[in-house]
């Protein structure tokens, strides 16, 4: 527990300023590239408990995952970059990445159809998930905070209520300690906390205050303000009809993401994806639910952006 707390504190000290300050935007993008490489390696290592990959296919999978990450996330830009309008490249890269991956069946003797499926899982899970985090960062710090509030609150309250009141097992064949009581409590509290942040953002972080200047230099009043016309032309209670269901579903996906990671580890009989984070395991052990929620939120916000574009963005 002590190692876990120390690692968590170090992560917070590194990630909070890196994500929040524009001056560190380049460092954030470099860290995300490293995340993709390490997380991809962790998944390859998991699959290798069953069958070893040759060196060249492993390098190829890492490069294809990075290719997906770059083409979807549109990284290495500045804050003026809008990744929601930078995905025309996907019509080229996705078919090309698929073509190259299937070519591995011919190029590498020991690479078979099952390996293609494993590689596609890695490319989509890590590449698209990490790209979604980058997209949310480019949309604004508040979107990243919203993401982390959902995942953290879900995890904390599901654990607290599960330990004290958990009686009915949620998925005993995957994670025997998780309960329906904990899952429901996690979703309820995450929905209340993260939705309140999203709907009253401008009141929590008023321009002219230390936190306001730090997290809300643009003076947005809600999560959707200056992003969609829904945030500029509709009252808060109407935005609540949109934000609350999104937050609730995102919290559910956070728990599904955690269970997916647990199912993978149980399938391949490993305790953790890695050991880079003392007390936590690998990067995927710590950020499994974050990837899932980032994928969901990016999809939803992309839809909102397309259907209800901002008057001023």
Least confident segment among 14-28, 60-74, 187-201, 224-238: 14-28
CA distance 36 to 102: 21
CA distance 199 to 34: 33
Same domain, 159 and 216: yes
Where residue 282 falls (left for φ over 0; alpha for ψ -120 to 50; beta otherwise) is beta
CA distance 285 to 125: 13
The pTM score is 0.90
Number of domains in the chain: 2
Same domain, 251 and 160: yes
SS3 179: strand
Same domain, 129 and 150: no
Half-sphere exposure of 128 (CA within 13 A, CB side): 16
Q: Which structural domain range is residue 69 located in?
A: 1-139
CA distance 228 to 231: 6
Q: Looking at 139, 168, 200, which one is the last position of a domain?
A: 139
Q: Looking at 139, 155, 170, which one is the last position of a domain?
A: 139
Predicted confidence at residue 200, as pLDDT, reads: 93
- pLDDT by residue (tens digit) across 210-242? 777 777 777 788 999 988 888 887 899 999 999
Q: Looking at 105, 139, 173, which one is the last position of a domain?
A: 139
């Amino acid at each position: 527990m002590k190692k876990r707390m120390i690692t968590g504190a170090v992560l917070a000290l590194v990630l909070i300023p890196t994500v929040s300050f524009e001056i560190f935007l380049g460092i954030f993008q470099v860290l995300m590239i490293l995340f993709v490489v390490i997380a991809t390696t962790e998944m390859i290592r998991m699959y290798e408990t069953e069958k070893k990959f040759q060196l060249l296919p492993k390098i190829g999978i890492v490069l294809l995952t990075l290719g997906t990450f770059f083409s979807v996330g549109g990284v290495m830009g500045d804050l003026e970059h809008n990744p929601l309008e930078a995905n025309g490249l996907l019509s080229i890269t996705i078919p090309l990445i698929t073509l190259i991956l299937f070519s591995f069946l011919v190029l590498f003797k020991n690479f078979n159809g099952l390996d293609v499926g494993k590689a596609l899982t890695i490319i989509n899970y890590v590449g698209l998930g990490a790209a979604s985090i980058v997209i949310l960062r480019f949309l604004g710090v508040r979107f990243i905070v919203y993401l982390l509030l959902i995942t953290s609150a879900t995890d904390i309250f599901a654990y607290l209520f599960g330990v004290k009141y958990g009686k009915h097992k949620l998925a005993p064949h995957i994670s025997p300690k998780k309960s329906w009581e904990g899952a429901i409590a996690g979703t309820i509290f995450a929905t209340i906390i993260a939705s309140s942040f999203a709907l009253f953002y401008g009141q929590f972080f008023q321009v002219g205050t230390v936190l306001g200047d730090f997290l809300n230099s643009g003076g947005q009043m809600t999560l959707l303000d200056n992003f969609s016309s829904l945030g500029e032309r509709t009252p808060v209670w109407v935005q609540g009809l949109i934000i609350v269901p999104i937050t609730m579903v995102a919290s559910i996906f956070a728990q599904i993401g955690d269970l997916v990671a647990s199912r993978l580890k149980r399938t391949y009989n490993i305790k953790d994806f890695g050991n880079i984070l003392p007390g936590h395991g690998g990067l995927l052990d710590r950020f499994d639910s974050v990837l899932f929620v980032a994928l969901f939120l990016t999809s939803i916000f992309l839809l909102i952006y397309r259907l209800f574009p901002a008057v001023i963005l």
